[in-house]
Structure 1
Amino acid sequence: MFKKTQIKKGFTLIEILIVVAIIGILAAIAIPQYAKYKKTSLQTVIEAQLTECANILGARYAENGTKNYNCQVFNNTVSLVLDDTSGQITVAGRGQIIYRENVFNCSITTVNHSSKTVCTPQ
C-alpha cells in the first residue's frame, strides 16, 4: 500500500571537496595576512617600549644628568645615549631587537626636542 521512500542522508563527495577547496582558499589568504598583522603589532609594541625608554632617559638627565640608560625590550638590553649638546637620543650599537624569529632595526630621531622611534623589520 504505502511505498517506502528512501531518504538520503549525508553529503556527496563533490560537496565535501568543494567545502575543503573553499576552506583551503580562505586559509591561503588569511594566514599570510595574520602573520603580517602580527609583525606590525609587534613592531608597534617595540617602538612604544623604546619611546618609553627614551622618556625615562630624558627624565633621568633632567634629574641628575644621566646620559646613558640601559633598558629591556623583551629579552634585549638596549643602550640609549643622550647627547647633551644636541639633545639627540641614539640607540647604541646596531639598534637591533630580536624577538622570537623577528628581527627589527630601530632608531630614535629627535627634531625640535621631539623624539620619534622607528623600527623596521628585517
Structure 2
Amino acid sequence: MEDRGFTLIELLIAVAIIFILAAVSISYYTKYKRNAEVANLQKMLTTCARQLCGDYCNNSASNQTICQFEGYNGSCKVIIDSEGIVRFENGECIYQKDSLDIKCTLNPASGKIDCWAL
C-alpha cells in the first residue's frame, strides 16, 4: 500500500512554522504602524509651526497658535516669543491616537520637532 499525504508530525511542524511567521510579521507591522503615526504627527506639527512663522512674518500680531489634528486627542500651543524663537508653550506636546501616546519636543536652536512613542 502506498502512503499518500503527510504524517501528523509533518502537519504540526508546518502549522508551527506558520504561527511563528505570523507572530513575527504582526510584531513588525505594529512597529511599522506606530512609526508611521509618529512621523505623521511630526510632519503635521512642523506644518503648523511653519504656518505660524509665515503668519508672524506677514503680521507680527499673531504670535501663537493651537495645533489640533483630526484623529488625535490633545493639542499643542506653539508660540513665537519676543526674541522670535518658536517653542511649545509647555516645552513639549503629548498627543494620543488609539492606544498610542506620542510626545513631541521642539529644539529652538535647530528648529526641528522630534516626536516619539511613549
Kindly indicate whether residue 33 of structure 2 is the aligned counterpart of residue 35 of structure 1. no
2:116 is matched by which residue type in structure 1? Answer: T
Shift of 1:88: 2.1
**AA in 1 matched with 2:94:** Q
Asked whether the equivalents of residues 75 and 93 of structure 2 are also in contact (C-alpha less than 8 Å), the reply is no
| SS of residue in 1 equivalent to 2:112 | strand
Gaps of 5+ in 1: 1-5
Quote the Cα distance in structure 1 between the aligned partners of 2:13 and 2:26.
Answer: 20
Q: 2:5 & 2:59 partners in 1: Cα distance?
A: 76
Question: Out of 98, 104, 107, which is 2:105 matched to?
Answer: 107
* Contact 1:67–1:84 (Cα < 8 Å) also in 2: no
SS of corresponding position for 2:12: helix
The yes-or-no answer on 1:90 pairing with 2:92 is no
Query: Which is higher, the Rg of structure 1 or of structure 2?
Result: 1
Residue in structure 1 matched with residue 113 of structure 2 by the alignment:
117
SS of the equivalent of 2:6 reads: coil
Q: Which moved more, 1:60-69 or 1:26-35?
A: 26-35
Scaled by the length of structure 1, the TM-score of the pair is 0.81
1:81 maps to 79
Q: TM-score, normalised by structure 2?
A: 0.83
Structure 1 equivalent of residue 10 of structure 2: 15
Asked if structure 2 preserves the Cα contact closer than 8 Å seen for 1:89 and 1:110, the reply is yes
**Structure 2: 5+ residue runs without aligned partners?**
none
Amino acid at match of 2:68: Q
**Aligned residue pair count:** 114
Q: CA deviation at 1:51?
A: 0.3
- The root-mean-square deviation of aligned C-alpha atoms, in Å, is 1.9
Deviation digits for residues 44-76 of structure 1 (CA, Å, limit 9, x no counterpart): 111100000010010110111111111223333
- What's the counterpart of residue 39 of structure 2? 44
